[in-house]
Amino acid sequence: MSLNDSEAYVNEFISGYLQAIYFANTWVTEEGTEEGAEGSVPIYETDFDGAQFPKEIANELASDCRDFVEANQDLLAQALEQGETAEQAGMDFALSRNGHGAGFFDRGLGAIGKALQEKSRVYGGCQVMIDVTTKGDVSWWVS
């Protein structure tokens, strides 16, 4: 695959991004607990069974992905030539923008990875929050 097949590249990039955000940056808050780090737990530590993001949340998250790919086509093409798949680049965008201890900078891409890391951080952090009420009602939002 190449960036010349940009629709397929972007779709795989988004898929990787959504996987990483779901695992590393999705938090569940149950009714009656405080919002934030003390009242929320990572989704992987809960019994929450929302296997996928609702369409409107996925679309909101995908918007940043499309913007990032468009703005950084040259660097992403160079990373692709060095073996960074579109899916891995999407994961790295999620990890890099959120300041995790992994991302573009540690893929062995040298200056390309460093540049992509810096360009990711411009987007700021992105968390997905899920509120679950005692009645089982669920609401999602991006912060």
What is the domain count for the chain?
Answer: 1
The pTM assigned to this predicted structure is 0.85
What pLDDT, in 10s, does the model give residues 25-48?
888 876 655 555 466 777 777 766
Decide if 92 contacts 76 (C-beta within 8 A): no
Bridge partners for 128 per DSSP: 26, 142
Residue 35: the pLDDT is: 52
Domain holding 21, by residue range, is 3-142
Decide if 3 contacts 86 (C-beta within 8 A): no
- Which strands make up the sheet holding 26-30, listed edge to edge? 40-42, 26-30, 128-132, 138-142
What pLDDT, in 10s, does the model give residues 84-138?
999 999 999 999 999 998 999 999 999 999 999 999 999 999 988 888 776 777 7
Decide if 115 contacts 43 (C-beta within 8 A): no
4 pLDDT above the threshold of 70: no
Residue 90: the pLDDT is: 97
62 pLDDT above the threshold of 90: yes
User: Rounded to an integer, what is the distance from CA 118 to the centroid of its chain?
Assistant: 16
**Largest Cα span, the chain:** 51
Q: Distances from the Cα of 14 to the Cαs of 39, 42, 89, 109, in angstroms?
A: 29, 21, 9, 20
